[in-house]
Amino acid sequence: MDSMPNKKKKLHIAMFPWLAFGHMIPYLELAKLMAQKGHHISFISTPRNIDRLPKLTPSLASHIDLVRLPLPHVENLPEDAEATIDVPNNKLPYLKKAYDALQDSMARFLQDSHPDWLLYDYAPYWLPSIARKLGISNAFFSTVTAAFLSFIGSKAHLGERKNPEDFTVPPTWVPFPTTVTMRFFEVMKVFQGGISTDKSDVSEIFRAVEVLDGCDIVAVRSSVEFEPEWLRVLEDLHRKPVLPVGQLPTVVYDNGDETETWLWMKDWLDKQAKGSVVYVAFGSEAKPSQEELTEIALGLEQSKLPFFLVLRTRRGQADTELTELPEGFEERTKGQGLVCTSWVPQVKILAHDSIGGFFTHSGWSSVVEALQFERALILLTFFADQGINAKVLEDKHIGYLIPRNEHDGSFTRDSVAKSLRLVIVEEEGKIYRDKAKEMKALFGDRTSQDRYLDSFLDYLISHSKNICS
């Protein structure tokens, strides 16, 4: 009866993502969409991260407050390190420790501003109880898929899987047959920094399970059309509302101020045949080892396909393990491809007609960006949710996984070259090219995204604890 007036109410929504750009950017995308509907957003992060976010347009800036909470000093955390891109893997536990030390300043901000809703990430396991004490409606907004959250399980399942092998089979709580599991080498990477405790004294799995247990609702960057079965599993596991917010496709703003960097890239792409180029990028977090980079590079060369390789050679100034391309590689492939070691406008590159496929780590933001432009996917996972993402994509024939040794994760230049050619040019790989085209309607449809957003906001308005007209 009261639903029509509710739509006119405007919320104050606070958002607190984990300190990784693969998390902050989807949070910001959702913030922009909610701000466009007239809601007031407090987007909370650390000063350096706020300064590195994409600039807001004036109309959005009037609805989004960028709240800077200084990151507390933690011993062994490099100076100026405020995000995962600033630190090598062995320093990540100290970043988590510093993030956990934001507990008091977050509590003060929430007490002073008392938002209608608080949306937070998987990492601040201490935040649901703070929100509850302050009487603030709160949601875990997951930037990863419902399939990955389902694979983690609930608090009741926390001690059920003790050995790495336990994670290579479908969980007992999944009620349907599935091939979606982690491979042994992927599990071992998670065990090294996630399932067992680390120097932050709190494991990744514990954080996620505590947040899932403590939140009022679970909001997921997903859609019913893409993973209905996993959304149902998630709801059955946690016995609380699970709301997909859509895939949050990236909006390409053509503001006319094309940089020199993009102009020379565009010039090169313009000279390539339509659908011929393989774009290679593994996100802001993943850095291939020297051995992996060598096989990737030589596989690209062997494929004979034109390529655009974005290379991450170090994670922050504290990273002493620099990687480099094989000797003579750039000289030999001068006519075949481009190598870029700095930031690139990924969305603009993926939108270019010359791109035929995306060789990616399976991070969900990259997957969404590729599929909204119909780009076929060749998958090489590194850590976290990527293994499950890749298996879901493989299961649905949307992406092709590069063959690897299941035990140690090694792969060869031959498997790289053959996989790229299969997906981009060969008849056998037409299924992946066709599926990518089919997925555009699901991953890039603005009308569908708007419908999910409206449904989500309607829920927030009608279930806020302290809403006023």
- Average pLDDT of each block of 10 consecutive residues along the chain (469 residues)? 54 97 95 97 98 93 97 93 91 94 98 97 97 97 96 87 89 94 88 52 88 97 96 96 94 62 91 96 84 95 96 68 87 92 90 96 94 96 89 94 94 97 95 95 92 97 70
Q: Rounded CA gap, 100 and 94, in Å?
A: 10
Would you state the pLDDT for residue 90? 85
Report the alpha-carbon distance of residue 270 to residue 464 in Å, rounded. Answer: 50
Instruction: Output the pLDDT for position 8.
Output: 64
Which DSSP letter does residue 239 get?
A: -
| pLDDT score, position 9 | 87
User: Do residues 41 and 65 lie in contact, with contact meaning Cβ atoms separated by under 8 Å?
Assistant: yes
How far apart are alpha carbons 227 and 245 in whole angstroms?
13
pTM of this structure:
0.91
User: Which residues, including other chains, have CB under 8 Å from residue 266's CB and lie 6 or more apart?
Assistant: 258, 348, 352
CA angle 384, 389, 390 (to 5 degrees): 105
| DSSP states of 7-57 | TT---EEEEE--SSHHHHHHHHHHHHHHHHTT-EEEEEE-HHHHHHSPPPP
d(CA 79, CA 442): 42
CA angle 138, 143, 147 (to 5 degrees): 105
Two tokens, residue 412: 């060869």
What is the spatial distance between Cα 62 and Cα 56, in angstroms, rounded to a whole number? 9
Q: Which domains does the chain have, with CATH numbers?
A: 3-249+445-463 (3.40.50.2000), 260-443 (3.40.50.2000)
8 A C-beta contact, residue 358 and residue 350:
yes
The reported pLDDT for the residue numbered 168 is 92
The backbone torsions φ and ψ at residue 19, rounded to the nearest 5 degrees and listed phi first, read: -85, 55
Helix spans in 223-335 (H): 228-238, 260-270, 290-303, 329-332
From CA 105, how far away is CA 99, in angstroms rounded? Answer: 11
Q: What is the predicted pLDDT for the residue at 195?
A: 46
pLDDT at 427: 95
- What pLDDT score does 83 carry? 95
Longest dimension (CA), the chain: 71
Looking at this protein, which amino acid is placed at residue 319?
D
